[in-house]
């Protein structure tokens, strides 16, 4: 009887030990961790419906930020398609996440243009434009590089913009928490978002 009790105790201890190791194992973020987290640079811009959007008003939600432009031929539509896929997979949790697209081409990306463009991809993505001063502040805050380039088709038309294209994740406390390379994998975004939503 004593041997049976001892064996049972050892088995239970082993199970508890395995469980403790499983739950104590640190989560490995898919994006690059900003450590320590830093307050995300605030900005106020106008969305595609002409309404003001201020980053600091989004506290309590996760915010993914991407800079680009509607005439972009490659990285921008691909990244926004990833946003759409992640939103769909989040289901009802998507209400706790904001997906934000900020233009680097304000002359062409008017609110009307952003509304039409995002209406084709996903109308729930927030498309932001605004005054040159407000955009300059946002670009500087996130270290955004952008430079007009001559179109290869005409040789002199400045309709192509070379730009940096990381994705930034701001947590529910308003801190810049993670960054991702251009066109991050949808599953990487999804796993990190789900983890951060659970932490709340």
Q: Tens digit of pLDDT for each residue in 50-81? A: 999 999 999 999 999 999 999 999 999 999 99
Q: What is the mean pLDDT of the chain?
A: 87
* CA gap 193, 200 in Å, rounded: 11
Domain ranges in the chain are 30-199
Run of H or E including 114: helix 111-121
Q: Return the percentage of the chain with pLDDT > 90, whole number.
A: 76
Q: Quote the Cα angle for 145-59-146, to 5°.
A: 5
pLDDT band at 192 (very low <50, low <70, confident <90, very high): very high
pLDDT band at 108 (very low <50, low <70, confident <90, very high): very high
R_g of the chain, CA atoms, integer Å: 22
pLDDT of 161 over the 60 cut = yes
- What pLDDT, on the 0 to 100 scale, is given for residue 12? 40
Q: How far is CA 187 from CA 25, 57, 88, in A?
A: 20, 27, 12
Q: Return the percentage of the chain with pLDDT > 70, whole number.
A: 83
Place domain 30-199 in its CATH homologous superfamily. Glutaredoxin (3.40.30.10)
Output the six-digit token pair for 91. 């289901």
Is this prediction's pTM over 0.85? no
Q: 155-159: long-range contacts at Cβ-Cβ below 8 A with a sequence spacing of 24 or more?
A: 159/71
* CA gap 49, 129 in Å, rounded: 11
Q: How many CB atoms lie within 10 A of CB 9?
A: 10
pLDDT of 3 over the 60 cut = no
Average pLDDT over residues 152-160: 57
pLDDT band at 11 (very low <50, low <70, confident <90, very high): very low
Q: How far is CA 3 from CA 10, 13, 14, 43, 65, in A?
A: 11, 15, 16, 68, 61
């Amino acid at each position: 009887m004593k041997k049976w009790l001892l064996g049972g105790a050892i088995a239970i201890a082993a199970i508890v030990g395995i469980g403790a190791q499983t739950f104590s194992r640190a989560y490995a973020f898919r994006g690059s961790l900003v450590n320590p987290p830093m307050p995300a640079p605030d900005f106020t811009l106008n969305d595609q419906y002409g309404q003001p959007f201020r980053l600091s008003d989004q506290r309590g939600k996760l915010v993914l930020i991407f800079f680009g432009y509607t005439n972009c031929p490659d990285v921008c539509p691909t990244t926004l398609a990833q946003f759409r896929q992640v939103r769909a997979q989040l289901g009802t949790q998507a209400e706790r996440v904001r997906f934000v697209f900020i233009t680097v081409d304000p002359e062409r990306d008017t609110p009307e243009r952003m509304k039409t463009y995002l209406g084709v991809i996903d109308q729930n993505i927030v498309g932001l434009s605004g005054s040159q001063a407000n955009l300059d502040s946002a670009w500087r805050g996130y270290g955004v590089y952008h430079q007009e380039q001559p179109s290869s088709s005409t040789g002199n038309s400045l309709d192509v913009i070379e730009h940096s294209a990381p994705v930034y994740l701001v947590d529910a406390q308003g801190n810049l928490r993670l960054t991702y390379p251009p066109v991050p994998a949808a599953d990487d975004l999804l796993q990190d978002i789900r983890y951060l939503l659970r932490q709340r």
